[in-house]
Amino acid sequence: MTSVAAMALGLGSAATAQTTIDFLHVENNPETVALWEEMVAEYEAENPDVTVNLEFLENEAFKAKLPSLLQSDEAPDIFYSWGGGVLDIQRNSGALRPLTEEMQANDGEWQSTYSQGIIDGLSFDGDIWAVPYRTGAVAFFYNRDQFEEAGVDGDAIETWDDFLGAVQSLKDAGLTPLTCGGGDKWPLHFYYSYLIMRNGGAEVMDVAKSGGDGAFVNDAFIKAGQQIQELGEMEPCQNGWQGSRWPEPLGDFADGRAAMMLGFEDTNIDQVSNATDGEGLAQENIGRFPFPAVEGGAGSTSDTFGGLNGWAVTANAPDEAVDFLRWFTTADNQRRLAETTGLIPVALGAEDGVVDPLVREAATALGESTYHQNYLDQDLGPNLGRTVNDVTVELWAGDISPEDAAQTLQDTSDMENMQ
């Protein structure tokens, strides 16, 4: 009788065993994290046998530590992904769980939550490797008061020459034109990537991603390098820009120490929490314009550059991790996030949650996009992506020629293809 009771007790314990899901992210917006915590509490209330731990790593620390974490017993169950070549390498290493079966179950009920283009962006060899979460378009944000002081019309900046003219006018007015994150490097690769797109168009970008012969040693890459050097020679950035680490540039913009920044779709929202006074620039004092056209370039200003982000699940994660993501990324929950945090959702039907006017501009640009390019430092894989970031800063500082920068990229690509 005692043994039966013990067995019953054991079965009861197993039935109520607690499952812990470790959820690793890079989000530094306190409003977003607060809403996530609220949502997690709701999920845990509905699923009392599950605990979800939100774990934060700063952007660069995340990128540095994740590869070793994925090969260890400390691997998170769910982690933030920028997609692209990095995600491909992770799945090839065996670190990830394919999500195709779950997303295509019940006649594709979960997968049909998203457009096919969004699914394709996080798929390789016919399998889905991350749950879509958000998308975005990088653009310029500017301080209207400082533009007015310098006599610059943000709505009139349509070409690269217009942009350089605005930079000069701001300098002439004694203002700092740009805040630049040279310490992390990736914020500056936005400029190089966009200029390559504007000069060469989608075809040049697609050839570069294919890694073919001469993919990087061409006129579009060299011209973009020359334009980066031209901008760098104007010394447009804040003092100490080469050591500035994210999110310090957001603080510079929020505190009025720089008139412009090339930022994410929700930069106008994120700058608030990075301001010294906790308030930042008033929303009506912030303008936005797309990355300008290059005269004679093959690219269009309707071509967009930015992220397609998702949540990847590691190979040994419990089934509960997939169930949580299915709940976390529903259209209703994405709509909540859009309304509160400025996220541009990817779940169909959630786009009406985008209420901030500047974020809505980004959503409109994405809806009208003729070509969308993921961040190059992610799309090209970790080694080549890191080289893009490195040569961008070297070009900006005048430490490398445009031709040598292009050749460095080509050499890195060739070396990868030989392995």
- Asked whether the beta carbons of 185 and 392 are under 8 A apart, the reply is yes
Instruction: Give dist(CA 26, CA 28) in Å, integer.
Output: 6
- Asked whether the beta carbons of 104 and 396 are under 8 A apart, the reply is no
Terminal-residue alpha carbon distance, the chain: 65
Strand, helix or coil for residue 200: helix
Amino acid residing at 376: L
- Asked whether the beta carbons of 135 and 306 are under 8 A apart, the reply is yes
Instruction: Give dist(CA 69, CA 20) in Å, integer.
Output: 17
- Asked whether the beta carbons of 148 and 118 are under 8 A apart, the reply is no
Q: Structure tokens of 153?
A: 């019309």
Q: Domain residue spans in the chain?
A: 19-135+308-372, 139-305+375-418
Find, among 197, 190, 154, 213, the residue nearest to 377 by Cα: 190
- Write the CATH number of the domain with boundaries 139-305+375-418: 3.40.190.10
The Cβ of residue 206 has, within 10 Å, a number of other Cβ atoms equal to 14
Q: Structure tokens of 419?
A: 């392995």
pLDDT of residue 323: 98
Region label for 403, one of left (φ > 0), alpha (ψ between -120 and 50) or beta (otherwise): alpha
Instruction: Give dist(CA 298, CA 196) in Å, integer.
Output: 10
Sign (positive or negative) of CA dihedral 138, 144, 145, 151 = positive
The Cβ of residue 155 has, within 10 Å, a number of other Cβ atoms equal to 8
Per-chain mean pLDDT for the chain: 93
Q: Per the omega criterion (within 30 degrees of 0), is the bond before 247 cis?
A: yes
Kindly report the pTM of this predicted structure: 0.86
CA–CA distance from 86 to each of 374, 378, 381, 382 (Å)? 12, 6, 5, 6
Sign (positive or negative) of CA dihedral 269, 335, 63, 83 = negative
Q: Which residues of the chain have pLDDT under 70?
A: 1-16, 419
Give me the CATH topology for the region 19-135+308-372. D-Maltodextrin-Binding Protein; domain 2 (3.40.190)
pLDDT digits over 3-52, tens only?
A: 444 444 444 444 558 999 999 999 988 999 999 999 999 999 999 999 99
Crossing angle of helices 382-397 and 219-233, rounded to 10°: 40
pLDDT of residue 16: 58
* Radius of gyration for the chain, computed over Cα atoms and rounded to the nearest angstrom: 23
Which runs of E-coded beta strand occur in 209-355? Answer: 260-263, 286-289, 303-305, 308-313, 344-345
Sign (positive or negative) of CA dihedral 386, 253, 36, 372 = negative
Q: Structure tokens of 343?
A: 């996220």
Q: Structure tokens of 134?
A: 């958000």
Instruction: Give dist(CA 222, CA 212) in Å, integer.
Output: 17
pLDDT of residue 1: 37
- Asked whether the beta carbons of 160 and 281 are under 8 A apart, the reply is no
Instruction: Give dist(CA 32, CA 337) in Å, integer.
Output: 7
Same fold across 19-135+308-372 and 139-305+375-418: yes
Instruction: Give dist(CA 311, CA 303) in Å, integer.
Output: 25
